[in-house]
Amino acid sequence: MINRYPWLLLLLFTTLSAHAQLVDPLTGQVKNELLVQLDEQASITTLVQKINRQKEASALHKRVASGRFNIHLLQFDPSAWPDESLLQWLNARREVLAAQYNFEVEFRQDPNDPEFIRQWGFPRIGVTEVWDISTGGLTANGDTIVVAILDSGCDLSHPDLQGNIWNNPAEIPDDNVDNDNNGYVDDTYGWNFISDTSVMRTDSHGLAVTGLVGAKGNNNMGVSGINWNIKLMVCAIQYVDQIISAYEYVIEQRQLYNETQGAKGAFVVATNASFGLQTPTFCDEQPVWGGMYDELGEVGVLTGAGTTNRNLNVDEEGDMPTSCESDFIITVTNMNQEEEKEFSSGFGEASIDMAAPGQNSYSLYLFERYTTFDGNSAAAPHLTGSIALLYSLPCEELAADALANPKATALLIRSALLNGAEPLSNFEGLTATGGLLNVFNAMEIINEACGGSSGPLDILRIFPNPASSSFFVEYETPDFEPYDFRVYNALGQEIYRNTETPPRFASKRLEIDTRNWAPGVYFAAIQRGGEREVKPVLVKVK
């Protein structure tokens, strides 16, 4: 029998199905939704028409997940397309680049215990030592560092976040106008992709994650984030399609910043992923989602991700997103205070890069309070916060490259973190580095890349030599502690003394004024404790 009113069936399907997600409670798979990425020339309207010609009134276009990458969320009738028949049909289409089911994500937190020791992880990974150099916030060239928190929500009014929430300078708050023409009205701090609104969803999980990355530091209140000063872009997500939309939002903000040399957009350096799927899943089974990490990396954005809160081998069983092989995602597993992998945490010698403190962490809670926070949801922001902190180091070359060569700079930061991991026997064979996140070690690696160095105590050269009004001493030290500089005349009399702390991110050079010195031979010395190096310098007649 021919249906004379196909529009009526479509209307009925639309009425019954729109926003009615059939979510598998065990896996989180949305059985009646598919994410589809199309060739840039392809039309989603045409594709939906083709689907409905195959099975009448069986599919509709629910929303655009990413206009930039032509990614769309389709909702379909699973009785018309049983099993994976629609997915298979889509994957056979030439215009379809990738297709996958939509999923609800889980947030990677274990239960809290209020008796646990507070913020033990920061000193363990060298954060407090890096604070002697930088506490975050700005690059050496004055760019305001932003981290995007994709999570279940937040509490933007928490007093320990005030001053650290990102403000979109191109948007006028609460005027109900899309001032920057990016498709989001009043997106002053980010976006609530769950409800598609500028009103943020209040949630304790996302609040705790946000606090570990960037609770206000040195303000005589509560706790500190890894970055005392930072701008936090908050994006509420619950399903994979919303993750993709949030990533597109981040990409567009960072790309705009790159292209305008900071006049517009936001200098987002990292996103945090304290979420994943309920069941073990490999990245190639989530090609639309997994493909976003390379896109983020192209504009200079890294992602810190915590693995599953299950004791399983990610290499063998999979996990999203920590099984993704992108160079722009860094992955961690949850380490407890005994410096062991928390039993209920994933591992993988290929997929998981390193360990990070997670169990018994301490962070922000609702109602202006604080509480313990566990699991890989706590481990991930230790990593993500460290990424942002490294961008704040006083290296002008690093800051300049972050705009001129954002992709290469992101890879440099990633390399420093991986190569700086501290070896720990408990993680050999469980992670790619066999060790623990150590942001201080990563800083030392970046120091060398920025022209700093360390080595045996030595005076490398003195110039000009002979000198007239002054001379420079270029020197090397094995560390960055204070050293004594002294100059003696030919009779052994001390005529100059100074104490200098060697700079980390610049050449080690000291200028000494000789304008009031008599002509003759002098001896310059650098020393500390029992170590001493001496070289002669000639001061000539002026």
Q: Residue 117 pLDDT > 70, yes or no?
A: no
pLDDT-derived band at 88 (thresholds 50, 70, 90) equals very high
pLDDT for res 4: 44
Q: Which residue has the tokens 């979510």?
A: 23
Q: Residue 504 pLDDT > 90, yes or no?
A: no
pLDDT for res 449: 85
Mean predicted confidence (pLDDT) in 150-168? 97
pLDDT for res 108: 63
Classify the C-alpha dihedral 436-437-438-441 as positive or negative.
positive
**Mind listing the pLDDT tens digit for each residue in 214-273?**
999 988 889 999 999 999 999 999 999 999 999 999 999 999 999 999 999 999 999 999
Mean predicted confidence (pLDDT) in 1-11? 43
Q: Which residue has the tokens 């005529």?
A: 495
Q: Residue 111 pLDDT > 80, yes or no?
A: no
Q: What are the residues whose beta carbons fall under 8 Å from the beta carbon of 73, sequence distance 6 or more?
A: 33, 34, 35, 36, 61, 62, 63, 64, 65, 102, 241
Tokens of 4: 């004379």
Percent of the chain with pLDDT over 90: 86
Determine the Cα–Cα distance for residues 361 and 336; give it in Å rounded to an integer: 9
For 268-280, b/e burial (b = at least 16 CB within 10 A) is: bbbbbbbbbbbbb
Closest of 85, 114, 123 to residue 101, by C-alpha: 85
pLDDT for res 8: 43
**Mind listing the pLDDT tens digit for each residue in 263-293?**
999 999 999 999 999 999 999 999 999 999 9
- Which comes out higher in pLDDT, residue 26 or 401? 401
Q: Residue 114 pLDDT > 60, yes or no?
A: no
**Mind listing the pLDDT tens digit for each residue in 367-412?**
999 999 999 999 999 999 999 999 999 999 999 999 999 999 999 9
Closest of 77, 424, 381, 31 to residue 239, by C-alpha: 31
pTM of the model: 0.84
Determine the Cα–Cα distance for residues 264 and 169; give it in Å rounded to an integer: 8
Q: Residue 496 pLDDT > 80, yes or no?
A: yes
CATH of the structural domain 106-449, one choice from 3.40.50.920, 3.40.50.2000, 3.40.140.10, 3.40.50.200:
3.40.50.200
Q: Which fold has domain 458-539?
A: Immunoglobulin-like (2.60.40)
- Which comes out higher in pLDDT, residue 117 or 444? 444
Determine the Cα–Cα distance for residues 461 and 474; give it in Å rounded to an integer: 5
Q: Residue 143 pLDDT > 70, yes or no?
A: yes
Mean predicted confidence (pLDDT) in 329-341? 97
pLDDT for res 524: 97
Q: Kindly report the average pLDDT of the chain as a whole number.
A: 92
Domain ranges of the chain: 6-103, 106-449, 458-539
Task: Write the CATH number of the domain with boundaries 6-103.
Answer: 3.30.70.80
Q: Residue 325 pLDDT > 60, yes or no?
A: yes
pLDDT-derived band at 109 (thresholds 50, 70, 90) equals low
- The gap from C-alpha 264 to its chain's centroid, in whole angstroms, comes to 21
pLDDT-derived band at 115 (thresholds 50, 70, 90) equals very low
Contact in structure between 281 and 312 (CB atoms under 8 Å): no
Determine the Cα–Cα distance for residues 105 and 317; give it in Å rounded to an integer: 17
Determine the Cα–Cα distance for residues 343 and 460; give it in Å rounded to an integer: 51
pLDDT for res 110: 42
